[in-house]
Amino acid sequence: MGRLIYTMITSADGFTTSPDGTFEWAVPTPTIHRHAGALTESLEGEIYGPRMWDTMKAWQDIRPGDGQDYGEVAGAMYEFGETWRSMPHHVFSRQQGKPLTREALRELKAASGGDLGIAGPGLAAVALELGEVDEVARYVVPVTTGGGTPWWPHGLAARLELVDHEVVDAGWLFERYLVVG
């Protein structure tokens, strides 16, 4: 059975967006794109809520010859896009009649030939509260936002075991933890 891994980009004070809902402070460098691509490549699929899907589905179209100028990050973006397009994506939404449940998560994990990713703090909060997340990881950007969408659900306590950390690039810290209780 595969593991469920929650990964996000956060500010140093633990938010995935600024108070106004934007995240322009979280634009990855080519090195960050490649690091995230390696993590994504190790997954058998990803799980999204509708808001994260709306953000991530842009990767369907990011490829050489798409008419966009991505500057110095173009090569890394194309590589990440290719990796992202090569895996299945599962979208859950209460509003669309497909809520994320313990049973749905267990079925996906059991059917998976490896690890699954989950992204988006709202959907991940459901999985964390259900006790179905096995690992959490985040890229910590050296900026504070003073508020916004929190990375971790308010009021949810958990014991985490640090299994990896490194400064990846431009002061961005990568942290990876096992959820142990």
DSSP assignment of 26-95 equals GPPPHHHHHHHHHHHHT-SEEEE-HHHHHHHGGGGT-STTSS---GGGHHHHHHHHHHHHTS-EEE-BTT
List the domain range (segments joined by +) for residue 55: 4-156
**Residue 119 placed within a domain:** yes
Residue 139: beta bridge partners?
A: 9, 174
Please count the structural domains in the chain: 1
**Residue 138 placed within a domain:** yes
The domain that holds 63 is classified in CATH as 3.40.430.10
**Residue 171 placed within a domain:** no
Contact 103, 32 (CB under 8 A): no
**Residue 167 placed within a domain:** no
CB neighbour list of residue 19: distance below 8 Å, 6 or more residues apart: 145, 146, 147, 148
**Residue 177 placed within a domain:** no
pLDDT at 9: 96
- Reported confidence tier of residue 56, pLDDT bands at 50, 70, 90: confident
**Residue 120 placed within a domain:** yes
Per-residue pLDDT tens for 69-123?
888 788 888 888 888 899 999 999 988 888 999 999 999 999 988 999 999 999 9
pLDDT at 71: 83
What pTM does this model have?
Answer: 0.90
**Residue 169 placed within a domain:** no
Per-residue pLDDT tens for 123-172?
999 999 999 999 999 999 999 999 999 999 999 999 999 999 999 999 99
**Residue 172 placed within a domain:** no
